[in-house]
Amino acid sequence: MLDIDRLRADIPAYADADGPPPVFLDSAGSSLPPRVVIDTAVAHLRREAEVGGYRAAAERLDDLAAVKTAIATLINADPSAIALSDSASRSWADFFYSIPLRPGDRILISGSDYASNAIAALQRARATGAVVESIPSDDTGRIDLAALDAMLDERVRIVSLLHTPTNGGLVNPAAEATRIAHRVGALVLLDACQSVGQIRIDVAELGVDALSATGRKWLRGPRGTGFLYVRPELCAELEPGRLDLHSATWTGPADYRLAPDATRFEFWECDVAARLGLGAAVRYLLDQGPDEVFAAVAANAAYLRRHLSAVPGVTVRDLGTEQCGIVSFTVDGVEPVEVRDRLRAADITVTVSHRSSTLLDMSARQLDSVVRASPHCFVTTDELDRFLDAVDRVRRAAD
């Protein structure tokens, strides 16, 4: 069982607070890191100031390798299948742009796909003559597996699956969709930006060809960190669109050799302090017990959904049959941005998800924006109740 007192003692925002602690409900945006993450990153920055960045990095080569080992442990992969990057978007794009496309090839995207993914798909379609098509959603909001099966043929080159969308608690059936896509040889790229760190991820069970994730959200690592998993058998077949002397070796005047593993998706220059901080964040999660953390996140979100649904004038907007730690809602007569700002004035942090981020899904549901609350395992029931009371006050003020 999680030690909530220890968890909160490890967070400066709580441990160092003079008065009532803030109510933090934005782990789907950028979560509160434990102190070990801050200390790890800052200590390396100080070391760089003492001996320079090159020597400081050379001293931490084993620790940098351990970052991949920790991530691999979390998602049940081999460390050689992990490439570190500066964001989930970078990881997703690096893999996506490495897939050769020809005129007539088909790219399938999820109905709740994120704007960055859709834009990249549209750009490549324009450049290559490929086409982009959206996988329909079923009555629950999840990917319609029967519709996906009916769409597939040998021209489907890549399927972009969104595990959990940015605008709500839906969890898509990624493993089932992957098995269907693989029947025609399509590659599956899973955007796990909102799921790694709050949902159990096992890449062997999921069967995906690649998975992208960020450090700053549910993993509670630094901003500017992320990673890409690439199925080892596939990795050797792909050449990223950008290379340097880390991802490849210059072997002759007119030749080079790609790194043999997922390192080919990395560049030499990076934020070493941030990557060490990411490793500290993943190890912290492993030490706490991932299943315990995931269960606490789910319980907090379920509590919010249940009690928000009982507030007159508040509509919970989450879809799906399986739901996660993201809770989306609207308040009658009050724009989501105004709800966010009024809550912020009470030291309650939520965010707003706009239609432009998930255009297909939000347009289909005729929503311009929703308020997004995402409580991590360290949030207490008292803080959830403070949030619920504040939402009710916002609602009553609009009457």
pLDDT tens column, 82-105: 999 999 999 999 999 999 999 999
Say what the pLDDT of residue 52 is.
Answer: 98
pLDDT tens column, 219-236: 999 999 999 999 999 999
Looking at every residue in the chain, the average pLDDT score rounds to 97
Q: In which band, very low, low, confident or very high, does the pLDDT at 309 lie, cut at 50, 70 and 90? A: very high
Reply yes or no on whether the pLDDT at 398 is more than 90. Answer: no
Enumerate the H helices of 97-223 as residue ranges.
Answer: 115-128, 145-151, 174-182, 203-206
Rounded CA separation 215/387 (Å): 26
Average pLDDT for residues 264-279, to the nearest whole number?
98
Average pLDDT for residues 263-289, to the nearest whole number?
98
The residue type at 349 = T
Residue 200, number of CB atoms within 10 A of its CB:
13
Say what the pLDDT of residue 346 is.
Answer: 96
Q: In which band, very low, low, confident or very high, does the pLDDT at 18 lie, cut at 50, 70 and 90? A: confident
At residue 291, what are phi and psi to the nearest 5 degrees?
A: -65, -35
Q: Which residue ranges make up each domain of the chain?
A: 4-33+288-397, 39-287
Q: In which band, very low, low, confident or very high, does the pLDDT at 162 lie, cut at 50, 70 and 90? A: very high
Residues written for the chain: 399
% of the chain with per-residue pLDDT over 70: 100
Reply yes or no on whether the pLDDT at 290 is more than 90. Answer: yes
Instruction: Give the three-class secondary structure for 231.
Output: coil
Q: What sign results for the dihedral spanned by CA atoms 37, 39, 40, 42?
A: positive
> What is each CA distance from 240 to 12, 22, 244, in whole angstroms?
40, 43, 10
Say what the pLDDT of residue 7 is.
Answer: 96
Secondary element (H or E) of residue 277: helix 272-288
- Is residue 57 within 8 A of residue 199, CB to CB? The reply is no
Average pLDDT for residues 165-169, to the nearest whole number?
96
One of 3.30.300.90, 3.50.50.60, 3.40.640.10, 3.20.20.80 is the CATH number of 39-287, namely: 3.40.640.10
Average pLDDT for residues 256-265, to the nearest whole number?
98
Rounded CA separation 1/364 (Å): 41
- List, in order, residues 6 or more apart from 263 with CB less than 8 Å away: 80, 83, 246, 247
Residues 296, 299, 301: CA angle, nearest 5 degrees: 110
Residue 289, number of CB atoms within 10 A of its CB:
13
Reply yes or no on whether the pLDDT at 399 is more than 80. Answer: no
pLDDT tens column, 35-57: 999 999 999 999 999 999 999 99
Say what the pLDDT of residue 386 is.
Answer: 97
At residue 84, what are phi and psi to the nearest 5 degrees?
A: -90, 145
Reply yes or no on whether the pLDDT at 284 is more than 80. Answer: yes
Say what the pLDDT of residue 344 is.
Answer: 97
Q: Which of 54, 107, 25 is nearest to 377 (CA)?
A: 25
- List, in order, residues 6 or more apart from 44 with CB less than 8 Å away: 56, 60, 272, 273, 276
Reply yes or no on whether the pLDDT at 1 is more than 90. Answer: no
Secondary element (H or E) of residue 131: strand 131-134
Say what the pLDDT of residue 143 is.
Answer: 97
- Is residue 74 within 8 A of residue 282, CB to CB? The reply is yes
> What is each CA distance from 234 to 16, 63, 121, 238, 254, in whole angstroms?
48, 27, 20, 7, 26
What's the CATH superfamily of 4-33+288-397?
Aspartate Aminotransferase, domain 1 (3.90.1150.10)
Two structure tokens written together for 20: 């009532």
Instruction: Give the three-class secondary structure for 286.
Output: helix
DSSP single-letter state for residue 17: -
pTM of the model: 0.96
SS3 content of the chain, % helix, strand, coil (to 5): 45, 20, 40
pLDDT tens column, 102-147: 999 999 999 999 999 999 999 999 999 999 999 999 999 999 999 9
